[in-house]
Structure 1
């Protein structure tokens, strides 16, 4: 088994290689505007450090979000392209689940990431392996009472400390955690998501309402 895990649902562009027992190599760069530029070189470096070739990969794991439209589609498109070229399965995982797994918290907590527009993507967890709610997008002030007394993992907590005073790490996604979670689920027959983007809302870019379509006569 050789898992290639990628995630671009947060400002972190992150890649990891996992052999089913341990992470062989990993990389993370945080830059919300350069997902497309950074991802493929990161894959090359991770493979080189692990001493493996791309054609040795047996599974591609990808974070499906929720996340902003532009960044999220970079990871998904890359994962699907690798899967098609290599003829291997592409398995999706909720990106919030990767952050939860990386936290290692055993009690109830919340994961919240930056959704822009003064909102957060979030979900509630019983522990680092068990999500209790479906991912959602809301304003932090609307969640403050519901999350009162709970640790909050992710950049959403650091961005909105008034709503989430008990901030915990990690702030952004790590493909190491995503790969570890995937290996655990594969070994135990756990479920995966289809490799489709979990946007939760419409993209920021919209066609103007008064846009006039011009067709040739």
Structure 2
């Protein structure tokens, strides 16, 4: 199955093509092409060109895609909606399903896939701006707490024994840091792999903003 994966929940604009195979009982994920641009202000400008570059590099056309997986956050309002709107547009234009996954789950999945998540409870944190972090905890790749948004001082390190995510924020916790900073395309697809294999009808995309957007209409400010 050829899957397009995108994520704009962090400053990194991530897109790529993944081949999802089923070898017996084990799903095998092969990354065919990937583009990552680290620029929080470039989501709208570079995402679609990145996707087209990945298709060209891998030798496929948009019509060859069979599904789309997109990170639904948590993330800042403006960047997050670019990725979700683009994913939805590809799905609608091609008549293929679009699966939303928690972006923090994808980071945790990457830690597990790299074999670096075997030492117990994992804390994943990303930049929520306003001197806050988005965070969640995982055991063996399964989320046991979160996602939520708080000031770093309000998020306890324990019972986690490792931390992954934004390097500027993992250092705020007295825990060994895993070098997995943003969701990869393989991590995104691995979170949705069971649904993809089952050909499930995806649920509607719901962004995990976790708080109201910074930009609001003038009428809303008066309320």
Q: TM-score, normalised by structure 2?
A: 0.85
Q: What is the Cα deviation at residue 31 of structure 1?
A: 0.7
* Backbone CA RMSD of aligned residues: 2.4
1:168-183 pair list within 5 angstroms: 168-183=178-193
User: Greater share of strand residues, 1 or 2?
Assistant: 2
| Rg comparison, structure with higher value | 1
What is the Cα deviation at residue 142 of structure 1? Answer: 0.8
Question: 2:151 aligned to 131, 139, 145, which one?
Answer: 139
Q: 71, 74, 79: which is aligned to 1:66? A: 74
- Find the residue that maps to 1:28 and give its secondary structure: strand
Deviation at residue 61 of structure 1 after TM alignment: 0.6
Tell me what 1:6 maps to.
6
Provide the C-alpha distance between the structure 1 equivalents of 2:165 and 2:84, rounded to a whole number of angstroms. Answer: 21
Aligned mate of 1:35, from 19, 22, 43: 43
1:158 aligned partner: 168
Q: Report the alpha carbon displacement of residue 161 of structure 1 after superposing the two structures with TM.
A: 2.4
Alignment of 1:1-217 (within 5 A): 1-21=1-21, 22-104=30-112, 105-106=117-118, 107-128=120-141, 130-144=142-156, 146-147=157-158, 150-155=161-166, 158-159=168-169, 161-187=171-197, 194-207=204-217
TM-score (norm 1): 0.87
Query: Structure 2: 5+ residue runs without aligned partners?
Result: 22-29
- For these two proteins, the number of residue pairs brought into alignment is 209
Between 190-199 and 52-61, report the one with greater CA deviation: 190-199
Q: What is the CA distance between 1:192 and its match in structure 2?
A: 6.4
Aligned equivalents of 1:210, 1:200: Cα separation in 2: 18
